[in-house]
Amino acid sequence: MITITHYLVLSAILFTVGVIGVLIRRNAIIIFMCIELMLNAVNLSFVACAHYLNSMQGQLFVFFTMTVAAAEAAVGLAIIVAVFRNKETINIDDINIMKW
C-alpha cells in the first residue's frame, strides 16, 4: 500500500536534488532547470496531499504554481539572454559584481 509518506519523501528527494543542483552548478540554464525541478517537487506534494485529504485545493494550487513557473521561465530566460548578450557568458561565477 502506497501511503502519503511515500509521495512526500519522493518529493523531498526531488527537492533536495534541486537544491544541490542550484548550489553546485555554474551554468545558469541548468540552475534554472533545477529550480523548475524544485517547483515540480512541491507540486507533487500538493497533489499527494490533495488526494489523501479528498480535497481539490491542492490540484488547483498546482495550476497556479504552473502559471508562476511559466512566467518565471519566460522572464528568467529573457534575463539570461540579455546577460549573455552583454557578457558573452552564462557562467554565473563570471557575474559577480553584486558585492561591496
Partner 1 sequence: MLNLVALILLFPLIGTVINGLAGKRLRKETVGYLACGAIGLSFLVSFMVFIGLLQLPPDERLFEKHLFRWIESGSFISAAALQVDPLSVVMILVITGVGFLIHLYSIGYMHHDKGYHRYFCYLNLFVFSMLLLVLSNNFLLMFIGWEAVGLCSYLLIGFWFEKKSASDAAKKAFVVNRVGDFGFALGIMLIFLTFHSIDFTEVFSAVSHGNFEKGSFTVTMITLLLFIGATGKSAQIPLYTWLPDAMEGPTPVSALIHAATMVTAGVYMIARCNALYLLSPFTMTVVASIGVITALFAASVGLVQNDIKRVLAYSTISQLGYMFLACGVGAFTAGVFHLMTHAFFKALLFLASGSVIHALSGEQDIRKMGGLKPHIPVTYKTFLIGTVAIAGIPPFAGFFSKDEILLEALVRGNFIYWSLGAFAALLTAFYMFRLLFMTFHGECRVDHHAMEHLHESPKNMTLPLVALAGLSFVGGFFGIPGANALEHFLAPVLGGHGHTEVRGAVSAGHHGAWLPYLMMVISTAIALVGIFLAYQMYIKKPGLSKKLAERFRLIHKLLLNKYYVDEIYDAIFINPTKKISTQVLWKVIDVRMIDGSVNGIAWLVGRIGSVLRHLQTGYIRNYAFYIVVGCILIIVLAVFGR
Partner 2 sequence: MLAYLFYIVAAITVTTAVYLIFEKNPVFGALYLIQTMVSLAVLYILLEAQFVAAVQIIVYAGAIMVLFLFVIMLLNLDIGEETKNALPYQRIPAILMGIALFTIICIVIRSKLLQGKQDQYTTAFVQGVGNTKLIGNLLFTEYLLPFEITSILLFVAAIGAIMLAKRKL
Q: Residues interacting with partner 1, by CB under 8 A?
A: 19, 22-24, 26, 92-93, 95-100
Q: Which residue has the cell 509518506?
A: 5
Whole-angstrom CA distances from 7 to 58, 66, 68, 95 are 14, 19, 23, 38
55 binds, among partner 1, partner 2, none (CB under 5 to 8 A by kind): partner 2
Give the nearest distance from C-beta 5 to partner 1 in angstroms: 17
- Type of residue numbered 85: R
Residue 85 or 100 having the CB closest to partner 2: 85
How far apart are alpha carbons 91 and 16 in whole angstroms? 22
Report the nearest approach of partner 2 to the CB of residue 68 (Å).
7
Contact 79, 86 (CB under 8 A): no
Q: Indicate which of partner 2, partner 1, none lies near residue 49 (CB less than 5 to 8 Å, by partner kind).
A: partner 2
Minimal distance in Å, beta carbon 100 to partner 2? 16
* Residue recorded with cell 543542483: 21
Residue 95: name its binding partner from partner 2, partner 1, none (Cβ under 5 to 8 Å by kind).
Answer: partner 1
